[in-house]
Structure 1
């Protein structure tokens, strides 16, 4: 294979292409499961009750994925890639089985945590596998295919959940993932039979230390915030929320003080640099926009009797808009990137604010429009935002900066899910799931996150300011 041109026929003949397709299955399993939860939620809550724990279903999954994703990249230095992949797939299968057979919401949440650990590890190991098992000259093409797989999973997950609920049961959806995880664990032993996959990486150098303390702070913080939303009581809930937010600040502080294991670059939230504004934008929009995916289908089916398959199509449309607009703006000139970031931010904030009116009203065309604006805004802004963040990081921190964007998104989703639980339960769901409670929740749930949408827009505008822009060269 000369240059960067990929000889796909030779890659297939060598068995490397089949290995790559297999490795990418881990991304498909994780991302499909992550997005499927939205459309099975109404049926699951109807069966298990515990609507006050709905926000936890995403929060604990993302927590597991964050911890396992950070761990997996380091574990390959001590344990063979094949063994890591087998354990991750088995963890995923066990978690899915616990979810499929859960008699109650707490048992279901335990399964989601185990699933998140397995799924997060599978994704991290997929990226490690590309670097370990394939020639450097074809990495960009392989990473591009992995991004496409993620996009397919993002819109197929909600549809899969809706179809399974319509035809069989929400439990069968997790049953399918149990089989998928078990099959992947078995196949890992057979397919990953190369020397690179069977030998630990320790010979190439020592692994960076694992951020135990920082991730411990993060896990405790998210659990405290989520717990504040269960059985709402003013003093208790306020205290738990306050402690959770202090814990989050401590997480970022501990991470900054440990350069050997840090997850984020310096100047993380500094409004004087493009990197700080960019990461502020990522954090604000990630926290603010996860509410529709968690509660949208539940509210639409309870309030307006919208078929679950219709809600699946709406969430899928949001993901499709993200993918299509991301492709359409990919070749825009770099001098326009900051204007494009601002346009994307305004689209996201408009979609978020629009949900506060359209979901209580029940207008499917307007809800679809808001979903397209929100998803399309991410598609427009995110590629350029990531480039600005990485380009403005210090030279020795650019690798950390590129990995920090998806990590911050996951943290945002986990924190946003926990905060959404507080808002939803405080505005009606603490008393159970019924039409009156859903009507109270529908408006407040989205209005409560509009201020964060405004913060995201301000951060985007600051990225476009000449005074902040000039800092990129200094960074």
Structure 2
């Protein structure tokens, strides 16, 4: 591990050692993931004109996140058994295959298969970037490294809508996935060439060749639970939908029960929702806000194009502005003094909640300036709060659970996105999308996709306040 100090980060020495250059290269996997996400959101309206299945929009996002969670859990363990280089190559190839399946999909079912494979690959690439932070660098500069990752994310968020809109409007939406597939192949080839030498902390072979424990039961329970929640929205009926929703939510609770009983393969730290510790309040904040904010990126492009006639490129860049604001604010607050970090976290939480409140009015009304402002507000809040909440959770965790705590943050975030996408699908289909994509159905769903999540946004604010105080 490269030595650093709290007083001054020697970036030149980090670069000369090769650790920083290696980290930047590994983080390019985030570019594939982020570009693909904003690209998919942009091309979704065009895709649904060719492939019917608007009722599965929530599924397309939820199933991607399930794949990402499984890949993240696997990568965190395989990196101690298989080289970083091999992990990157496999993740990039999985991402490429998923993009090819999406590009060739003739039905929404095949598109979902491709999204699952993309999730395996993209989730693995993102997880490897986080693993490299924990293994190669002192925690003193984690906020700065997260800022670098945010820059890469912001650049990717800017390119994704352009790729999607240009392909959809001038060629065909399928070409956008084709370009992403080429990017996955390039990442795999580059990993073979660039990462020839073993890096410090890259591999620590386990004793007697025994692979690390893997949380099969926990991940299976999570996948089934999210699918149950998503199924509640396919054919809206009070009794049927309620049973699926309640069963899915019970399953989500069971995920944490099973996880606590398998310490050798744990995904989350001990007592992850204990509000007497920053671990519990921080994890609650991350989970609540992740669920509460996914409606915007998932359904706003559909609503804006169908209800207000907004061009694909415009709606795509409004979505991307959230990620760009995340990147910019993350950089601006990266060097905040420790005694002020709590205030930054609280301000970030209020900004996120303010964005959800604003969307509830702005998206149905079609006010593009207000929608853009709310997107920047929400994304900036995430950028301000996330790096410091992550460090607070790791600092407050038990001595033997630091690594688990650091990897649990992106896992909880993806889990929140998966659950939020499934619930948003129920709301959208109940509001009218179950009957097809039109201006009338978009109008029926527009407000409730944000109003329904306001209580969770309030929970996120309260948890943020408790975390900041802790």
1:209 matched residue in structure 2: 213
Shift of 1:359: 0.9
State whether residues 134 and 403 of structure 2, in contact with CA within 8 Å, keep that contact through their aligned partners in structure 1: no
Shift of 1:6: 2.6
State whether residues 78 and 212 of structure 2, in contact with CA within 8 Å, keep that contact through their aligned partners in structure 1: no
2:128 matched residue in structure 1: 125
1:161 pairs with 2:167: no
- CA 1:84–1:375: 2 relative to 1, 3 Å: closer
1:339 pairs with 2:349: no
Shift of 1:78: 3.8
- CA 1:187–1:331: 2 relative to 1, 3 Å: closer
Partners of 2:94 and 2:236 in 1: CA distance: 33
Count residues with an aligned counterpart: 461
1:6 pairs with 2:12: yes
1:367 pairs with 2:377: no
Partners of 1:91 and 1:284 in 2: CA distance: 30
Q: Which moved more, 1:439-448 or 1:164-173?
A: 164-173
1:248 matched residue in structure 2: 252
Shift of 1:425: 0.2
Q: Which moved more, 1:302-311 or 1:456-465?
A: 456-465
Counting only pairs closer than 5 Å after superposition, residues 12-411 of structure 1 correspond to structure 2 as 22-128=25-131, 145-194=148-197, 201-202=204-205, 208-411=212-415
For residue 232 of structure 1, give the secondary structure of its aligned residue in structure 2: coil
- CA 1:85–1:245: 2 relative to 1, 3 Å: same
Q: Which moved more, 1:399-408 or 1:328-337?
A: 328-337
For residue 178 of structure 2, give the secondary structure of its aligned residue in structure 1: helix
Q: Deviations over 1:9-32 (max 9, x none)?
A: 8568xxx88766553332211221
1:452 pairs with 2:440: no
Partners of 1:20 and 1:421 in 2: CA distance: 37
Partners of 1:8 and 1:454 in 2: CA distance: 41
Shift of 1:84: 3.1
TM-score, scaled to structure 1? 0.89
State whether residues 37 and 294 of structure 1, in contact with CA within 8 Å, keep that contact through their aligned partners in structure 2: no
Shift of 1:259: 1.4
Partners of 1:360 and 1:149 in 2: CA distance: 32
Q: Which moved more, 1:303-312 or 1:156-165?
A: 156-165
For residue 260 of structure 1, give the secondary structure of its aligned residue in structure 2: helix
Equivalent in 403, 415, 419 of residue 415 of structure 1: 419
Equivalent in 428, 434, 439 of residue 424 of structure 1: 428
For residue 264 of structure 2, give the secondary structure of its aligned residue in structure 1: coil
**Where in structure 2 are there 5+ consecutive unaligned residues?**
5-9
Shift of 1:233: 1.7
**Where in structure 1 are there 5+ consecutive unaligned residues?**
470-475
State whether residues 268 and 408 of structure 2, in contact with CA within 8 Å, keep that contact through their aligned partners in structure 1: yes
State whether residues 69 and 120 of structure 1, in contact with CA within 8 Å, keep that contact through their aligned partners in structure 2: yes
Shift of 1:336: 3.1
For residue 336 of structure 2, give the secondary structure of its aligned residue in structure 1: coil
- CA 1:388–1:164: 2 relative to 1, 3 Å: same
For residue 274 of structure 2, give the secondary structure of its aligned residue in structure 1: coil
Give the CA RMSD over aligned residues.
2.8
For residue 185 of structure 1, give the secondary structure of its aligned residue in structure 2: helix
Shift of 1:458: 1.9
Shift of 1:36: 2.0
State whether residues 5 and 138 of structure 1, in contact with CA within 8 Å, keep that contact through their aligned partners in structure 2: no
